[in-house]
């Protein structure tokens, strides 16, 4: 049986790639043929040899199945702006069927796939479709990454309610301490435990260097 999970977040820049890499690593250690997929991205990094998206490199590094960067991240934009706006300006349409085609190729090689979204739950792919429309079409199980900071309670509750309202399975949520821990962080998480119906899969401590994660020190339950 092939397991497919879509990673969404309560905001942009709240650690979706970090969480995705941890889940991939944990699943690989559990014996799965894992693969990461980031169908749409913006904000490329310039390097002497080429342009590449750091997210794709990180996902590939922590996957059991070795894929090319353009297989992990087939639709990309250099500028750091909402993909649907860049798509319109550059006349480079983002089509749901292209996202599905990329996923089908990965499915032929793996049995446990993390699909990382861009931004939050309703990030537009175009002026007609959002990421949520594609997730619903593919019948993916959603994992919410909650960046623990002021405002996250409201964003997390709204995100789960939106997912449930569309009759999509929410497989759990992960609390990611994106800032150095302060006295209120445990209260944010405790409050969310009272409101979020999906299970808490784990709490990620503040990571100074996300490029050198000590995976054995992070306790996360794999979604089912």
Question: Considering the domain boundaries, does residue 224 fall inside one?
Answer: no
Question: Considering the domain boundaries, does residue 148 fall inside one?
Answer: yes
pLDDT digits over 122-166, tens only? 999 999 999 999 999 999 999 999 999 999 999 999 999 999 999
Token digits of residue 139 = 């019948």
Collapsing DSSP to helix, strand or coil, 119 comes out as: strand
Give pLDDT, residue 53: 54
Write down the catalytic residue from 25, 38, 53, 149: 38
Token digits of residue 7 = 């990673």
Token digits of residue 180 = 């150095």
Question: Considering the domain boundaries, does residue 91 fall inside one?
Answer: yes
Q: Is 26 a catalytic residue?
A: no
Give pLDDT, residue 216: 80
Q: Is 64 annotated as a binding residue?
A: no
Long-range contacts of 128-131 (CB under 8 A, 24+ apart): 129/96, 131/8, 131/40
What band does 212 get if pLDDT is binned at 50, 70 and 90? confident
Q: Is 101 annotated as a binding residue?
A: no
pLDDT score of 47 more than 80: no
For all residues of the chain together, what is the average pLDDT? 92
Q: Is 46 annotated as a binding residue?
A: no
Give pLDDT, residue 43: 78
pTM: 0.94
Question: Considering the domain boundaries, does residue 222 fall inside one?
Answer: no
pLDDT digits over 161-208, tens only? 999 999 999 999 999 999 987 889 999 999 999 999 999 999 999 998
Judging by beta carbons within 10 Å of its beta carbon (0-12, 13-18, 19+), is residue 57 exposed, middle or buried? Answer: middle
Compute the distance between CA of residue 25 and CA of residue 5 in angstroms, rounded to an integer. 14
Q: What is the CATH number of the domain that holds 185?
A: 3.40.50.300
Question: Considering the domain boundaries, does residue 32 fall inside one?
Answer: yes
What would the mean pLDDT of 215-222 be, rounded to a whole number? 89
Q: Which domain holds residue 160?
A: 3-217
Question: Considering the domain boundaries, does residue 125 fall inside one?
Answer: yes
Residues in the chain: 224
Q: Is 108 annotated as a binding residue?
A: no
Q: Is 23 annotated as a binding residue?
A: no
Compute the distance between CA of residue 120 and CA of residue 150 in angstroms, rounded to an integer. 16
Helices 54-61 and 16-29 meet at what angle, rounded to 10? Answer: 20
Q: Is 70 annotated as a binding residue?
A: no
Share of the chain above pLDDT 90, in %: 80
C-alpha Rg value of the chain to the nearest Å: 17
Token digits of residue 21 = 């890499």
How many domains does the chain divide into?
A: 1
Collapsing DSSP to helix, strand or coil, 102 comes out as: helix
């Amino acid at each position: 049986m092939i397991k497919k999970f879509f990673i969404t977040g309560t905001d942009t820049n709240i650690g979706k790639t970090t969480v995705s890499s941890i889940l991939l690593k944990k699943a690989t250690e559990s014996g799965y043929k894992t693969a990461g997929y980031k169908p749409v991205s913006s904000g490329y990094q310039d390097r002497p040899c080429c342009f590449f998206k750091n997210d794709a490199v990180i996902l590939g590094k922590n996957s059991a199945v070795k894929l090319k960067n353009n297989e992990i991240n087939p639709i990309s934009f250099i500028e750091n702006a909402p993909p649907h706006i860049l798509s319109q300006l550059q006349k480079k349409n983002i089509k749901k069927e292209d996202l599905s085609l990329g996923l089908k190729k990965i499915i032929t090689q793996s049995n446990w796939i993390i699909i990382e979204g861009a931004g939050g739950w309703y990030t537009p792919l175009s002026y007609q479709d959002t990421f949520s429309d594609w997730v619903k079409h593919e019948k993916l199980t959603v994992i919410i990454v909650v960046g623990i900071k002021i405002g996250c309670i409201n964003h997390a509750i709204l995100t789960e309610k939106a997912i449930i309202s569309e009759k999509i399975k929410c497989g759990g949520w992960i609390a990611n301490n994106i800032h150095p821990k302060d006295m209120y962080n445990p209260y944010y998480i405790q409050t969310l435990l009272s409101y979020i119906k999906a299970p808490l899969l784990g709490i990620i401590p503040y990571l100074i260097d996300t490029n050198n994660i000590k995976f054995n020190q992070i306790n996360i339950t794999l979604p089912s």
